[in-house]
Structure 1
Amino acid sequence: MFEALVYMFENYIDTQYRPDNNTLTRELFAAGFDEEDINGACDWFNQLESMTGKPELFQMADAANSRIFTEIELKKISAESIAFILFLVQANILNTSQRELVLELAMNVPQAMIGIEEMRWIVLMTTWGASKTGPDKTKEYLFIEDVLLNEKKPTLH
């Protein structure tokens, strides 16, 4: 399913147009994705669009806000991915509400493990989605895109 999400994101990121679900389903099927992956990707993408439309996502939360990960989260999300999310919060790329959104969306991906590459894509999609309805997040989005697509990855402290 994750490959279908990336395909959707790459093909519709720069457009204001997103085809209806029937057209999108036919396009994804023609691209070689199976029905289960297509349905899962469409549901996840719809969830992303719905959740990033919430104005409270952009309110800066208390800087002292800490996060304790559940056992289920720790089993599904790699330690490197968690470190990446915490780095983005510390660097003020994501606020704590956005962190929670990213984690919720990661937990909703139906694969057993979320590695760093998947997490980077989830953050990129979330940051992009949030920038459409909230304040200008171009710098944050470009930073995440650079982290995702650049061969040389930054050092996370």
Structure 2
Amino acid sequence: MFEVLVYVYENYWRGDACPELHQLERKLSAHGFEPDEIHEALVWLDGLNVAAENITLPPDTEEAWEADGAEADATSMRVYSVAEQDRLGAECLGFITFLESSGVLPAALREIVVDRAMAAPGDPVPLDALKIIVLMVYWRFGHEPDALVLDELCDDSSERLPH
């Protein structure tokens, strides 16, 4: 499923440029993806679209984007359920917290990331899969993460050496 999502992200720069799901299914099939992978990815993307329809974000500017995240963090605290903790694991929860505290993941988008991570395969969800989920959420809202965030999302952390 994640290979399909990466293909969609790379080939349709913005979520609004992506074709309808039935057209996308044909294009993915023509590209050579397996029917099961395509179906799983399309169901996941449909869930992303449904979740995104219920969210209103500020205008797409870096100042508004970061301000939304900062305001929510100052007045609220997210407590993860036991099911979310088990499914996401410490590594993914730590990464979500890192993105939030950096001001690049507003609370509304954090909830969509958690929702879509809970709907993704893997138990627990691997960090690399969570990074793809975050990219897809940004993509759906037409937000291009800045270079440092994009580097963090696309970097293979398994190659890093701890200090």
* TM-score of the superposed pair, with normalisation by structure 2: 0.74
Q: Report SS of the residue matched to 2:75.
A: coil
Distance 1:105 1:23, change over 3 A: same
The alpha carbon displacement at 1:41 in A equals: 0.8
**What amino acid is the match of 2:106?**
N
For residues 117 and 47 of structure 1, the distance between their equivalents in structure 2, rounded to whole angstroms, comes to 20
After TM superposition, the runs of 4+ consecutive aligned structure 1 residues lying more than 4 A away are 57-60, 151-154
Contact 2:4 2:37 in 1 (8 A): yes
Contact 2:87 2:125 in 1 (8 A): yes
Look up the match of 1:24: 24
The residue correspondences of 1:48-63 to structure 2 (distance < 5 A) are: 48-58=48-58, 60-61=71-72, 63=74
Look up the match of 2:34: 34
Q: Which of 108, 116, 124 is the aligned partner of 2:127? A: 116
Look up the match of 1:64: 75
Distance 1:151 1:95, change over 3 A: same
The alpha carbon displacement at 1:55 in A equals: 4.5
The residue correspondences of 1:70-149 to structure 2 (distance < 5 A) are: 70-130=81-141, 132=142, 137-138=143-144, 140-149=145-154
Contact 2:4 2:38 in 1 (8 A): yes
Distance 1:57 1:72, change over 3 A: farther
Give yes or no for the alignment of 1:45 onto 2:45.
yes
Look up the match of 2:7: 7
* TM-score of the superposed pair, with normalisation by structure 1: 0.77
Distance 1:34 1:151, change over 3 A: closer
Distance 1:20 1:14, change over 3 A: closer
For residues 126 and 16 of structure 1, the distance between their equivalents in structure 2, rounded to whole angstroms, comes to 12
Distance 1:129 1:18, change over 3 A: closer
Q: Which runs of 5+ in 2 are unaligned?
A: 59-67
Contact 1:65 1:96 in 2 (8 A): no
For residues 3 and 148 of structure 1, the distance between their equivalents in structure 2, rounded to whole angstroms, comes to 15
Q: Which runs of 5+ in 1 are unaligned?
A: none
Relative to its length, the structure with more helix (as a share) is: 2
Q: Report SS of the residue matched to 1:56.
A: coil
